[in-house]
Amino acid sequence: MVLNKSETPSVPAATRARILKLAGELGYQPNHPARMFRSARTMALACVIPDITNPFYPGLVRGLQSIATPAGYDVLIFDTDGRPEGEARAVNWLLQGRADGVVGTFFHLRVPELTVLAHQGIPLVRLESQHKSEGPLPIDSVYIDNAEAAAAMTRFLIARGHRRIAMILAEFGPSKRRALGYTTVMREAGLAPEFVTDRAYSEESGARAMHSLLARKRDRATAVFGASDVLALGAMEAARSAGLTIPDDIAIVGFDDIPAARLLGLTTVRQPEFDLGTLAANTLVSRLQPGGMEHPGKSHELKFEIIKRSSV
Amino acid sequence: MVLNKSETPSVPAATRARILKLAGELGYQPNHPARMFRSARTMALACVIPDITNPFYPGLVRGLQSIATPAGYDVLIFDTDGRPEGEARAVNWLLQGRADGVVGTFFHLRVPELTVLAHQGIPLVRLESQHKSEGPLPIDSVYIDNAEAAAAMTRFLIARGHRRIAMILAEFGPSKRRALGYTTVMREAGLAPEFVTDRAYSEESGARAMHSLLARKRDRATAVFGASDVLALGAMEAARSAGLTIPDDIAIVGFDDIPAARLLGLTTVRQPEFDLGTLAANTLVSRLQPGGMEHPGKSHELKFEIIKRSSV
DNA sequence: CTGAAAGCGCTTACAG
DNA sequence: CTGAAAGCGCTTACAG
């Protein structure tokens, strides 16, 4: 009791001091696994993401840590590679009691597959691309309005005089909502949306998509919207190696505002990844307080920002 | 026994099948914390690094995971911010039994402070910048020869005709060995080394150091060697915003080969961070096998590579 | 070949 | 105010 609590009303100060002194002399360290076991708390939060080498995620992890560490929680990283098997493995792993709560990006699993976590008493905060319906289960979400952000970016390109604007997408994840915002604005402006979809959120996918856009000699796009910065940077490289100058021959924009975007002058949508991390961690920490699992799931929105740089 | 082992000589196949069938029907999941507690194994490896948002580290983490996950180990991330207090907190945390083994970058703590881990039976693999003496304790290291790599890069700049070459350093960590290689080659060539040291491995530090280099109007350096890519990229930005063209007005090189280096055409030293991660994880996994703590500490060298791009 | 028992190091409810 | 006891869910050595 003395070792675990900063105040112990039933233990007199003298006894308390004697215990602390002895513990110090003996170099006593409480055994963490035993505490975890006995208290049925791992004191770990899991961060389930597609790939830590995608520069969007390290900032999110720092945001998580900044709240988790002072609250006594460790942070575990689980990479899914954005694949259904990886996501299923993550859920299984969580069901073994590896973490007390999860922050996760799930491209494939839907609420039905994720409710098992709630049933096991493991709160989940999803990183989402839109507002999610708020159910009775302890499944929360944090998001920026991806459709509205993509719409704002598309409006910006149109305002700059672009008419032939193409979009590069990946198969899964937030591409869908981002494409929706783009399509809506293009239609409203009487313009024809044009998509190239490749497999992943990787530079190779972005470069490959750009190549196929550049192959169309007639009515070639004057601006290209990458559904993520990594896609946009791949597209930039492909455009440059095809001898094009950015933004004179072709404008390129992205989504995320990863650190490299600033260095390369990429116009993009800023997602506040650190703040998404702190918000997600705070949500989990309060869920893990007594009674915290009872209130219904909430969907928290954060604001995006259009960052204008030299690529347009 | 049946659930934990793929072969159970003393249990007949029929009994084995009956057990597995029932476990499946009941949806039995072994309680991970209880196993950890009873077996005194956390089945977690800690990765103690300055900062996960430094793009060098996510690749290392993936290397770790690629070995740790199939071997049944989780990976915990602990950020020290490269500060002495952060490193001390990491050691304390490890002494509570949070992980079975550690891969770590320690800028400040030396062997005396780290032996406590070995005494508690926690093997450590250090990410180092040079060969380390091999003692009896289970403390291993992995490294590329930082001094030789910096020497090779300096020779390359001299071969390209540069004579006034300055180096940008950070206060702690691998800057020292990198500076040593640079200094040795400069002296051998009869050239005067010139250093600017700033606080951290950050773009701000790199930009600040570049500003102070550019302030010297007489005999200004024609080439700048950043002790890390992040420093070099900060220097590139500062040079560009001062109106200089790279490489015509000033050449810039770095160290690490982070993903952004390729995108920005930065000539740099490639460190095989994924391979450093797999090597470190394999070393830990074999240390954690029965008897693995007995053999003496080893220092493993991996090869660097000079990557020539447009910044020179 | 299979069942019953002990014990890992804590936390917490209880007895005195 | 403080000591002794129970029990968390496993693993492992032992009995039968």
Identify whether B312 is part of a domain.
no
Alpha carbon distance B232, B264 (integer Å): 11
**Binary contact (A97, B37; C-beta < 8 A):** no
pLDDT over threshold 90, residue B6: no
* B167 and B239 both lie in a single domain: yes
| Token pair 């009941």 in the structure block, residue | B26
Q: Establish if B230 belongs to a structural domain.
A: yes
pTM for the predicted model, two decimal places: 0.90
Whether residue A46 is found in the same domain as residue A101: yes
CB-nearest to B33 from A36, A52, A263 is A36
Is the CB of residue B2 inside 7 Å of nucleic acid strand C? no
Check whether B198 has a pLDDT greater than 90: yes
Same domain flag for B257 and B165: yes
- A115 and A180 within one domain: no
How would you classify the pairing of strands B139-143 and B299-301? parallel
User: Which tens digit of pLDDT belongs to each residue from B227-246?
Assistant: 999 999 999 999 999 999 99
Q: A307 in a domain, yes or no?
A: no
* Calpha distance A282→B282 (Å, rounded): 35
Q: Do A263 and B58 touch (CB under 8 A)?
A: no
**CB-based contact B33 A29, cutoff 8 Å:** no
| Minimum-distance nucleotide, CA of B35 to C1' | D10
Tell me, yes or no, whether A284 and A139 share the same domain.
yes
Give the gap in angstroms from C-alpha A185 to the nearest C-alpha of chain B.
Answer: 31
Q: Is the CB of B15 under 7 A from strand C?
A: yes
**Distance from CA(A6) to C1'(C16), angstroms, rounded:** 26
Residue B10 to residues B2, B5, B16, B225, B265, Cα–Cα distance (Å): 10, 12, 10, 65, 63
Residue in chain B closest to A259 (alpha carbons) equals B260
Q: Do residues A140 and A279 share a domain?
A: yes
Mutation to test the A interface, candidates B32, B89, B117, B229, most A Cβ within 10 Å = B32
Please say if the pLDDT value at position A109 is more than 90: yes
* Tally of domains within chain A: 2
Residue nearest to nucleotide D7 (CA to C1'): A38
Whole-number Å distance between alpha carbons of B49 and A207: 32
CATH of the domain at B237: 3.40.50.2300
Residue A302 in this model has a pLDDT that exceeds 90: yes
pLDDT for residue B290 is more than 90: no
Q: CA B80, B86, B90, B96: dihedral to nearest 10 degrees?
A: -140
> Which residues on chain B are in Cβ contact (under 8 Å) with A52?
52, 58, 61-62
**What's the maximum distance between 2 C-alpha atoms anywhere in chain B?**
87
Task: Give tens-digit pLDDT for A7-28.
Answer: 888 888 899 999 999 999 988 8
Pair A48, A31 in one domain: yes
**What are residue B196's DSSP bridge partners?**
B168
Strand, helix or coil at B264? coil
In this prediction, residues A231-248 reach a mean pLDDT of 96
Where does the pLDDT of residue A268 fall: very low under 50, low under 70, confident under 90, or very high at 90 and above? very high
Q: What nucleotides of chain C have any atom within 7 angstroms of a protein Cβ?
A: 1-2, 7-12
Is there a domain that residue B10 lies in? Answer: no
Give the distance, in angstroms, between residue B33 CA and nucleotide C8 C1': 12
More confident: A40 or B278: B278
Across the interface, whether the CB atoms of A33 and B40 are under 8 A apart is answered yes
On whether residue B15 sits in a domain, the answer given is: no
Give the domain range for residue B173.
146-270
What are φ and ψ of residue A48, in 5° steps? Answer: -100, 110
**Strand C neighbours among A 14-33, CB < 7 A:** 29-31
Q: Are A23 and A3 in contact (CB under 8 A)?
A: yes
Which pLDDT score, from 0 to 100, does residue B157 have?
98
Instruction: For residues A48 and A158, state if they share a domain.
Output: no
Assess if residue B49 is contained within a domain.
yes
Same domain, yes or no: A162 and A200: yes
User: Looking at the structure, do residues A150 and A139 belong to the same domain, yes or no?
Assistant: no
Nucleic strand C within 7 A of Cβ A37: yes
Give me the total of CB pairs closer than 8 Å, taking one residue from chain A and one from chain B: 103
Name the minimum distance, in Å, from the CA of A189 to any CA of chain B: 34
Q: What are the Cα distances from residue B29, in Å, to A32, B264, B300?
A: 22, 49, 39
Within-domain flag for A80: yes
- Judging contacts by C-beta atoms under 8 Å, the chain A residues touching residue B97 are 29, 31-33
B76 touches chain A (CB under 8 A): yes
Least-confidence region, from A178-192, B67-81, B181-195, B197-211: B67-81
Same domain, B258 and B293: no
Q: Name the B residues in 28-57 with CB < 8 Å from any A CB.
A: 29-34, 36-37, 40, 42, 44, 51-53, 55, 57
Contact A77 B77 (CB under 8 A): yes
Looking at the domain assignment, is residue B7 inside a domain?
no
